[in-house]
Chain A
Amino acid sequence: MAQTATADERVRRVGAFRKWLTRPELAAVAGSVLVFVFFAIVAGDSGFLTLGGAASYLEVSAQLGIVAVPVSLLMIAGEFDLSVGSMVGAAGMLVAIGIVEYGWPLWLAIVAALVLAMLVGLFNGYVVTRTRLPSFIVTLGMLFALRGLTIGFTRLLTGRTEIGGLTGATRGSPLPPIFAGTIKGFPVSIIWWLVLAVIGTWVLQRTVFGNWTFGVGGDPNAARNVGVPVNRVKITLFVCTALSAALLAVIQVLDAGSADVLRGQLLELQAIAAAVIGGVLLTGGYGSVVGALFGALIFGMVEQGIFFTGINTDWFQVFVGVMLLIAVLFNNYIRRRASEAR
């Protein structure tokens, strides 16, 4: 009985719809729709549905999403990077101090920030792969150390913890519009976010590196046995997360015209939350970049949506916490169905 049932089952073709129901990003996409509808009803007449409203939540989503894309790839490869928030603070300060205190041209400051990020990413990657310590611990150490160095050096060099006056100092440079300009009222960071998400998806789904990323997170030993350079994959992804943090720092500094040593706090956890809402498995080996994109979108819509409802924005984090829990439960259910579907 059971035997014939499975034989029939095996040749039966599954509809596209059923297949879609087992995608990792399902919860995040459905959640985005729900959140949008919810705020459209609750806050629709107070600006949530206007173009300006969209621009505001998309900007929040974009800033998180720029980091959440590589963070999700790294998590699929089975590692965490808790130092991205501190990296934003450090890179932002480097740009600001370089320009304001030392008169560097903007391009040089940006290059310096990217180089710093690359070194931090390499360091994280090497320590994790060499020592085989959990990346959670290694990058947690980096979270504190980098933040401390940023605060310490900034105060040492300038006597302050916040540096302004960048707008004047960078006037005339062609670079600020690329990072902090607007197109028809929408910040260009949204384009960065979408482009990174497209590249991330392409890499994950359509390149050899992407296949290795899944393999490395799914079972590092099995991957190593078939010849995948496990350490190289991980180190590369640590560099990518740090670079994305530096990119975000440049965007924020040019947008605000100032840098603060405390920039990026909690970003590491928000990025992980966005990835997890997007269906990335905390233990690696499973997930999608599209999911992380929608995870970041949910964050932006909730944060700005609550603002539009006029409720005190203090309640934002409660909403996020509940969303996270619901999404994870849902994702768990989907993944179980996907890996058991016969």
Chain B
Amino acid sequence: MMANNGAPLLEAREVSKYFGHVIALEGVSMKVHAGEVMCLLGDNGAGKSTFIKTFSGVHQPDRGVLLVDGEEVRFNSPRDAIDRGIATVYQDLAMIPLMGISRNFFIGREPTRGAGPFKRFDVAKADRITREELHKIGIDLRDTAQPVSTLSGGERQSVAIARAVYFGAKILILDEPTSALGVKQAAIVLRYIARTREQGIGVIFISHNVHHAYAIGDRFTVLNHGRSMGTFEKGDISMQELEKMMAGGKELDQLSAELEGSLSAKSEAQANEPDS
């Protein structure tokens, strides 16, 4: 599956990031190759978003280095990262709900026709490409001018991904693309990510849903309190083991015991209060 024997598309070596006295990341390393889905797993606050924001140019690492195609880079702004082919789809998607789909698809990078004062937005071309690109991912639009808000959550995620791919992303970073979605909608997005991988794009997929991650991932890096718990090939680890590691070992067992305890306590309390 990993066709590329040479340098990885993107590599992070011993990256640390501090916010004042908060250690958001400490010595985290990761590699992404062309045509693979690298999953970044971890609980809330584990540092996943902070980590990928160093790739997308939002944060600069305090320690450690980033390499693109084996070459050391420093991103001072999101623009720098985009110029190196790193596209990030954040949770909020950067889509404008009341605007038409094709207008959204091309905003900031509109195709134009004509010259001088008659230079204009090539609406026909934008509509055609949007229709084609969305058709590829199984969304058949009746009207490319319909507002983005008329799409479902999964479709919107897919459109945001399609846009990144269309504009030449080599590395696609998806920050929790499925966490707000139901089962069917998540399946749409996961299927589309698989197709993106087939085009030779390196995908970093962030999730705290092990089921989604295990379905799509080739390799998994687990973060816990800003530290890497290691990177695992899909064949070397089971879903249960991943889940345990994310939750930090025994915590889930402890939680279920706790919950049982509090539930029985509650029912006892209710039993003692007849008029409530």
**Are A and B interaction partners?**
yes
Is there contact, CB below 8 Å, between A227 and B79?
yes
B residues less than 8 Å from A238 (CB atoms): none
Is there contact, CB below 8 Å, between B150 and A208?
no
With beta carbons under 8 angstroms apart, the residue of B109, B110, B149 that contacts A339 is B149
Other A-B contacts than A228-B108, A339-B98, 5 sampled, CB-CB below 8 A, are: A10-B141, A14-B142, A208-B121, A222-B93, A228-B107
Contact with B along A264-293 (1 / 0, CB 8 A): 000000000000000001000110000000
Is there contact, CB below 8 Å, between B98 and A206?
no
Would you list 20 pairs from A and B whose C-beta atoms are within 8 A, ordered by A residue? A10-B139, A10-B140, A11-B142, A12-B142, A14-B142, A19-B143, A205-B123, A206-B120, A207-B121, A208-B110, A210-B121, A211-B107, A219-B94, A219-B96, A223-B107, A226-B107, A227-B108, A340-B150, A341-B150, A342-B150
Total number of A residues with any Cβ neighbor in B under 8 Å: 34
A residues less than 8 Å from B150 (CB atoms): 339-342
Is there contact, CB below 8 Å, between B149 and A13?
no
In residues 194-229 of chain A, which contact B (Cβ within 8 Å)?
A: 202, 205-208, 210-212, 214-215, 218-219, 222-223, 225-228
Contact with A along B86-120 (1 / 0, CB 8 A): 00000011111111000100111110100000011
With beta carbons under 8 angstroms apart, the residue of B78, B94, B119, B147 that contacts A338 is B147
In residues 137-168 of chain B, which contact A (Cβ within 8 Å)?
A: 139-143, 146-147, 149-150
Determine the distance from Cα of A75 to Cα of B24 in the docked complex, in whole angstroms. Answer: 41
Return B65 CB to nearest CB of chain A, in Å.
26
Determine the distance from Cα of A285 to Cα of B108 in the docked complex, in whole angstroms. Answer: 15
In residues 203-260 of chain B, which contact A (Cβ within 8 Å)?
A: none
Nearest-CB residue, chain B, relative to A227: B108
In residues 48-103 of chain B, which contact A (Cβ within 8 Å)?
A: 78-79, 92-99, 103
With beta carbons under 8 angstroms apart, the residue of A12, A208, A215 that contacts B96 is A215
A residues less than 8 Å from B184 (CB atoms): 3
Known: A10-B140, A214-B96, A285-B98. A207 touches B146 (CB 8 A): no
A residues less than 8 Å from B140 (CB atoms): 10-11
Return A230 CB to nearest CB of chain B, in Å.
11
Is there contact, CB below 8 Å, between A285 and B79?
no
Interface residues in chain B, defined as those with a beta carbon under 8 Å from any beta carbon in chain A: 78-79, 92-99, 103, 106-110, 112, 119-121, 123, 139-143, 146-147, 149-150, 184
Determine the distance from Cα of A281 to Cα of B140 in the docked complex, in whole angstroms. Answer: 29
Is there contact, CB below 8 Å, between B97 and A339?
yes
Is there contact, CB below 8 Å, between B147 and A339?
yes
Return B194 CB to nearest CB of chain A, in Å.
21
B residues less than 8 Å from A227 (CB atoms): 79, 108-109
Determine the distance from Cα of A228 to Cα of B107 in the docked complex, in whole angstroms. Answer: 8
Is there contact, CB below 8 Å, between A286 and B98?
yes
A residues less than 8 Å from B99 (CB atoms): 214-215, 218, 285
A residues less than 8 Å from B123 (CB atoms): 205-206
B residues less than 8 Å from A205 (CB atoms): 123
Q: A-side binding surface: helix, strand, loop or mixed?
A: helix
With beta carbons under 8 angstroms apart, the residue of A207, A211, A335 that contacts B106 is A211
Is there contact, CB below 8 Å, between B94 and A225?
yes
A residues less than 8 Å from B96 (CB atoms): 214-215, 218-219, 222-223, 285
B residues less than 8 Å from A214 (CB atoms): 96, 98-99, 103
Determine the distance from Cα of A215 to Cα of B121 in the docked complex, in whole angstroms. Answer: 14
Nearest-CB residue, chain A, relative to B111: A208
Determine the distance from Cα of A6 to Cα of B7 in the docked complex, in whole angstroms. Answer: 45
Known: A11-B140, A13-B142, A215-B96. A206 touches B121 (CB 8 A): yes
Q: Which 5 A-B pairs rank lowest in CB-CB distance, beginning with the nearest?
A: A226-B108, A218-B96, A227-B108, A222-B94, A339-B149
In residues 212-256 of chain A, which contact B (Cβ within 8 Å)?
A: 212, 214-215, 218-219, 222-223, 225-228
Is there contact, CB below 8 Å, between B98 and A281?
yes
Return B52 CB to nearest CB of chain A, in Å.
15
Return B102 CB to nearest CB of chain A, in Å.
10
Determine the distance from Cα of A41 to Cα of B187 in the docked complex, in whole angstroms. Answer: 60
Is there contact, CB below 8 Å, between A222 and B95?
yes
B residues less than 8 Å from A339 (CB atoms): 97-98, 147, 149-150
Known: A206-B120, A206-B123, A218-B98. A211 touches B146 (CB 8 A): no
Q: Which of A19, A202, A225 has the most CB of B within 10 A?
A: A225
B residues less than 8 Å from A338 (CB atoms): 146-147
B residues less than 8 Å from A219 (CB atoms): 94-97
Determine the distance from Cα of A286 to Cα of B149 in the docked complex, in whole angstroms. Answer: 13
Is there contact, CB below 8 Å, between B103 and A211?
yes
Is there contact, CB below 8 Å, between A226 and B109?
yes
Determine the distance from Cα of A228 to Cα of B140 in the docked complex, in whole angstroms. Answer: 28
Determine the distance from Cα of A122 to Cα of B93 in the docked complex, in whole angstroms. Answer: 32
Q: Which of A19, A208, A225 has the most CB of B within 10 A?
A: A208
Determine the distance from Cα of A207 to Cα of B118 in the docked complex, in whole angstroms. Answer: 9
Is there contact, CB below 8 Å, between A225 and B78?
yes
B residues less than 8 Å from A285 (CB atoms): 96, 98-99
Is there contact, CB below 8 Å, between A223 and B108?
yes
In residues 7-33 of chain A, which contact B (Cβ within 8 Å)?
A: 10-14, 19
A residues less than 8 Å from B141 (CB atoms): 10
Nearest-CB residue, chain B, relative to A341: B150
Nearest-CB residue, chain B, relative to A283: B98
B residues less than 8 Å from A12 (CB atoms): 142
Determine the distance from Cα of A319 to Cα of B112 in the docked complex, in whole angstroms. Answer: 44
Determine the distance from Cα of A225 to Cα of B93 in the docked complex, in whole angstroms. Answer: 10
